[in-house]
Amino acid sequence: MRDDTNKMEKKLVDYIQDAHAMETDVLAMLKSMISTTTDPEIKGQLEHHLEETKGHQRRMEECLKNHGATPSVRKEAQTLIAALAKGTTDKIRTDKPGKNARDGFVTEHMEIAAYELLERLALRAGDMRTVEAARAIKAEEHAMAERIDANWDRFIELTLQEAEILV
Provide the mean pLDDT of the chain. Answer: 90
Residue 146, domain member (yes or no)? yes
Residue 160 to residue 75: CA distance in whole angstroms: 38
Residue 167, domain member (yes or no)? no
Say whether 126 sits in a helix, a strand or coil.
coil
Q: Where are the alpha helices (DSSP H) in the chain?
A: 2-35, 40-66, 73-92, 96-125, 128-149, 152-162
| CATH code for the domain in which residue 108 is found | 1.20.1260.10
More confident residue, 69 or 73: 69
Residue 95, domain member (yes or no)? yes
Number of domains in the chain: 1
Dihedral sign, CA of 90, 94, 97, 101?
negative
Residue 118, domain member (yes or no)? yes
Residue 28, domain member (yes or no)? yes
Residue 57, domain member (yes or no)? yes
Residue 75 pLDDT: 76
What are 146-153's contacts with CB under 8 Å, separation 24+?
147/45, 148/101, 148/104, 148/105, 148/108, 149/105, 151/42, 151/101, 152/101
User: What would the pLDDT profile of 15-69 be if each residue is shown by its tens digit?
Assistant: 999 999 999 999 999 998 999 898 999 999 999 999 999 999 999 999 999 999 9
Dmax over CA atoms of the chain, in Å, equals: 67
pTM: 0.89
